[in-house]
Amino acid sequence: MSRERASLSRRQLLGSVGGVGALGGASGLGTWALFEDGETFTGSLAAGAVGVTLDCDGCTTASDGSVSFDFADLGPGDRGVETFTVSADANPMRVWLRTNCPAPVDPLGDAVELRLFHDGDCEGPAAGTAAYPADGSWVSLNEFRTALRGGLRLDHRDAEACLDGTLCLDFEYRLPDDATWAAALSTDLTFEVVAEQCRHVPEDGVASPFPPADCPELDCPDCVDLGKLEVEGDLLMPGVYEFDELYAPFDDGTTYALEVLTATNKADDAEEETVCVSFRLLAGESGDGLAESNAPAICSVAVKGGPLTATYDVAPPSTRTRGEVCTVAQDGDTAPGGLPAISNLVVSVCDDGEDGDGPGDDCSACPSADGEGERITQATFGYTGPDDVDVVFGQQSSGGSSGDDAQVTGVEDGDSFTVSLGSSGRPDFVVSVADGDASTDLSVPAQSDPSVLHTSCSQVFAVGMELVDDIDNPTYRLTVESALNAAGESLCEVSD
């Protein structure tokens, strides 16, 4: 990659604020120092002085002592390199680098990829050795920030115990070509550096001065149906669409909408029909008040097309889909021309129930203690068995299958997936696993009629309940990990 700074456009790297602040105090005979751009700080004990200088192309000094790179308006295929130097001006030193934590939901941080190099001759990443990851591979910005939050030792490499002279670091980043969904996003990366002198301070027992990684994670105990968007005329163009129906507890006056980012259409009798879309979730007041920052994180999307519903988990949960979600064809055709048009989208989001109305409150038994029945409308299953299978939930009618099925494709051993089980029609589902050309029905031993999965709560439905092909020696196993009834309440676990 070229290191010409002219290749770093404003669109690729909007700017940086920076600096480094001072961390006072000493440990043993070591002197701690943080750096400021273009300035030298010295401190002295009996062991001698520590002087360090930080230089960074395009950086400016900030009063809080950090060097930050802001990413915004990146397009697929954009990439760049930023270089900064750490110089030991007086005595050899130990140097650590750490980053800021990612936000619990940061879609661009999931998409942007990066790697960090030690560049001994300051000639660019191609001439350097990998600092992180150690194998020189790419990792997401969110992974990078989480991993380096507890500090990365910079000087201890290639049998060199301490930094004596100048160290160049090359930070290389890119937005992959297929990240077309990562539009209108921004995020940042902040570096903080600390140094300790090496003279007369033994290497044994040296540890990072930074505390262990403390980055918060998104709490998503329940994945709850938010609302349904009906597709008018089988066509979705890029733009904002408010939901046609909102489910409790989200029908509280807040406006929720989907902004379609990309769409794949097929021609049908000279008319275009949408078969795949990517989108982001907006929330707030109707009109100009809608914003992605106000929206809860999407954890699942159900795409209805023809008689089948395809369910996509969004993991980790985000305010937008990572790429397009599509309908599925009954014959297994995955080409756009063979897919049915999208008839509706059902979006599910993370909800912790802290407002007292959501599914994070006390669990609900199915059947309930007072004998009242509730329809199960959504369940998350964990799968154990051979890889790359399709799981089909066939809703039954009085004459057999209703043809209104939910299908999850490409399921691997250890995967979890969420299925919408409908709020209307018969509550019985025949659950089968398609493995190549073979299809195997699963039974539900906990229910009185094990041949079907019954969802009306006249039969047992609980977390931990299993669906298997063979009770004694199952090849395929589905385990209920969570489930919601029509009131949006979480189901209880299997009782002994």
Give the start-to-end residue ranges of the domains of the chain.
5-197, 222-351, 376-485
Per-residue pLDDT, 7: 32
Per-residue pLDDT, 333: 73
Say yes or no to pLDDT of 368 above 80: no
Buried b vs exposed e over 142-168: b needs ≥16 C-beta within 10 Å?
bbbbbebbbbbebbbbeeeebbeeebb
Q: What is the mean pLDDT of residues 185-201?
A: 82
Say yes or no to pLDDT of 58 above 70: no
Exposed/middle/buried for 480, CB within 10 Å: 0-12, 13-18, 19+?
buried
Structure tokens belonging to residue 33: 């120092």
Per-residue pLDDT, 49: 42
Long-range Cβ contact pairs of 386-390 (< 8 A, separation 24 or more): 386/413, 386/435, 386/475, 386/476, 387/411, 387/412, 387/413, 388/412, 389/433, 389/434, 389/435, 389/476, 390/433, 390/434
pLDDT above 90 as % of the chain: 35
For 84-105, what is each residue's pLDDT tens digit? 777 766 678 888 888 889 988 9
Per-residue pLDDT, 226: 92
For 338-357, what is each residue's pLDDT tens digit? 899 999 999 999 986 554 34
For 437-483, what is each residue's pLDDT tens digit? 999 999 999 998 899 999 988 888 999 999 999 999 999 999 998 88
For 194-235, what is each residue's pLDDT tens digit? 777 787 777 777 888 888 877 888 888 888 899 999 999 999
**Higher pLDDT, residue 158 or 201:** 201
pLDDT tier at 411, thresholds 50, 70, 90: very high
pLDDT tier at 69, thresholds 50, 70, 90: confident
